[in-house]
Amino acid sequence: MQILLISGSQRNHSKSAEVAKLIQRNLLDQQGSVSSEVVSSEILELSAYPSLLAHYGSDAENNNDLAKDKDEVLAKLYACDAVVFIAPEWGGMIPPALVNLLLLTANGSANGLPLGHKPAFAVGVSASGGGSNAISLLKSYAAKNSHLVWLPLHAIITNVDSFLTHQWQPECHSDDRIAQLQSRLAVGINSLFVYAKQLSPVREELVALSKVHPFGQ
């Protein structure tokens, strides 16, 4: 099973990327899950693909860097079985690079549905007390053209600097706020494994049906 963690920030050395690495290190590399599958994971940092911001630019078709980046990103999206979106909240919104990535997953742009009927877990990130708007924006429209399947669970990481320096101890009975958040992440990732395993045998049939009406009308 291949899990793709998408760091939605277009800034280099972002906190979102650090969150992705923390999840990978503590939950995916350790495979502390209810799944019997062999789990591998990869982090897709949107900051490494600046040309994706020009996805709908006037010279997009003639931009070799853009074409290369699109092919590389799409290959990662097609190869995964499930995805974790780590979305920073910028002024109550999500970064434009993440919006363009979601536009790229539509049938016409991707020559198929790379995330079609694959489970997705949303993680909002805020330097202060925000992060909920990022979740709302993702869940309100990201599935329409991508046909991904949102988990009913999500996690919102507030005061991300404190979260990143906290000891990892996801005990659900703990009164510690960060430990509770770590538990939410652990439950979300374990649920993602279960969804991915169950959707895998029916995904091809569901994607074929989605292509009949790929824009969700």
pLDDT of res. 73: 95
**Average pLDDT for residues 163-190, to the nearest whole number?**
88
Q: How many CA atoms lie within 13 A of 99 on its CB side?
A: 11
In a domain, 217, yes or no: no
The answer, yes or no, to whether residue 34 has pLDDT greater than 60, is no
Number of domains in the chain: 1
In a domain, 216, yes or no: no
The answer, yes or no, to whether residue 31 has pLDDT greater than 70, is no
Instruction: Give me 18's structure tokens.
Output: 């650090």
Mean pLDDT of the chain: 90
The whole-model pTM stands at 0.92
pLDDT of res. 32: 47
The parent domain of residue 93 ranges over: 2-210
In a domain, 194, yes or no: yes
The string of pLDDT tens digits covering residues 123-141 is 999 999 888 999 999 999 8
Q: Where are the beta strands (DSSP E) in the chain?
A: 2-7, 40-45, 82-88, 119-125, 149-157
Q: pLDDT band at residue 29, thresholds of 50, 70 and 90?
A: confident
User: Quick one: which of 156, 140, 155, 146 has its CA closest to 118?
Assistant: 146
CATH of the domain at 15: 3.40.50.360
pLDDT of res. 60: 53
In a domain, 112, yes or no: yes
The string of pLDDT tens digits covering residues 187-204 is 999 999 999 999 999 999
The string of pLDDT tens digits covering residues 53-65 is 776 655 555 578 8
CB-based burial label for 71 (10 Å; 0-12, 13-18, 19+): exposed
In a domain, 215, yes or no: no
In a domain, 197, yes or no: yes
In a domain, 85, yes or no: yes
116 contact partners, CB below 8 Å, separation of at least 6: 146, 147, 148, 203, 206, 207, 210
In a domain, 21, yes or no: yes
- In the chain, % of residues over pLDDT 70: 91
Looking at residue 24, the DSSP 8-state letter turns out to be: I
Encode burial over 191-203: b for 16+ CB neighbours within 10 A, e otherwise: bbbebbbebbeeb
Encode burial over 3-38: b for 16+ CB neighbours within 10 A, e otherwise: bbbbbbbbbeebbbbbbbebbbebbbeebebeeeee
**Average pLDDT for residues 73-91, to the nearest whole number?**
96
**Residues 74, 78: Cα–Cα separation, whole Å:** 6
